[in-house]
Structure 1
Amino acid sequence: MTAEHVLAQLEAHAAELRAFGVRRIGVFGSVARGEATDSSDLDLLVDLKRHTFDDYFGALNFLEDLFGCKVDLVQVEALKDRARPTVLQDLIYVEGI
């Protein structure tokens, strides 16, 4: 899986993501760095308009179905200070969401 593929899929499904309250979403980690293997999960950073169980898990389930792999969906507010520099270094936001 490549970052380009992930970004294109997220952009193509922007309407569905907005329905879950997604304001902004980006890829980070091994996929963003071009180091993903067949067993890699997908790391996504998300900014949600509404911080509800239904929106978070709705988006998570949608994304896991879309990509067919485990997705680590990290909310911006939950990003730990010690992890923030590493995540932001790799982060590639989707245009148009």
Structure 2
Amino acid sequence: MSTQSLTRDEAIRRLLSIEAEIRRLGVRRLALFGSVLRNEARADSDVDLLVEFIPSEKTFDRFMALADLLEETLGHPVEVVTTEALSPYIGPHILAEATDVLRAA
């Protein structure tokens, strides 16, 4: 993993560079939130991502493949959460902050 912090712009650039691979895994929408989005990340920060799968494409294997692909591409640990798994307590805050990198197609 990287020893440098990741900026919002660099994270978005890297994610867009693998859009086709992400879409092949059944991803409808991918959004960034948290410290990287706010440009407050440190070298040891993870990258927080909100994902929405096409319902018929959502499997555990695809979720894990996506997490692996994102970590490899971003060079940092990732925390991937699905829209369905959002807590009723923190979910509204995440949804308010999340910025789409890949919009629902």
TM-score with structure 1 setting the length: 0.92
Matched-pair contact (CA < 8 Å) for 1:33–1:90: no
Structure with the higher helix share, 1 or 2: 1
Q: Give the one of 20, 37, 44 matched to 1:39.
A: 44
- Assess, with a 3 A threshold, how the Cα gap between structure 1 residues 95 and 51 changes in structure 2: closer, same or farther: closer
User: Structure 1 75/95 Cα, relative in aligned 2: closer, same or farther at 3 Å?
Assistant: closer
**TM-score (normalised: structure 2):** 0.85
Q: Give the C-alpha shift of residue 67 in structure 1.
A: 1.2
Instruction: Specify every segment of 5 or more residues in structure 1 that has no aligned partner in the other structure, as ranges.
Output: none
Where 2:84 maps in the other structure, the secondary structure is helix
Unaligned runs of 5+ in 2: 1-5
Runs of 4+ with >3 A deviation:
none
Select which of 26, 35, 39 maps to 1:30: 35
Q: Which is higher, the Rg of structure 1 or of structure 2?
A: 2
Of all paired residues, the percent bearing the same amino acid is: 37
Shift in CA distance, 70/95, structure 1 to aligned 2, threshold 3 Å:
closer
Q: Deviations over 1:20-58 (max 9, x none)?
A: 111100110011111100010000000011220111001
8 Å contact 1:11–1:96 — kept in the other structure?
no
**Partner residue, 1:19:** 24
Residue 8 of structure 1 aligns with which residue? 13
Change (3 A) 1:84 1:96: closer
Structure 2 residue 91 is the aligned partner of structure 1 residue 84 = yes
Give the superposed CA RMSD: 1.3
| Alignment size in residue pairs | 97
Q: Does 1:58 align with 2:65?
A: yes
Structure 2 Cα separation of the partners of residues 21 and 64 of structure 1: 18
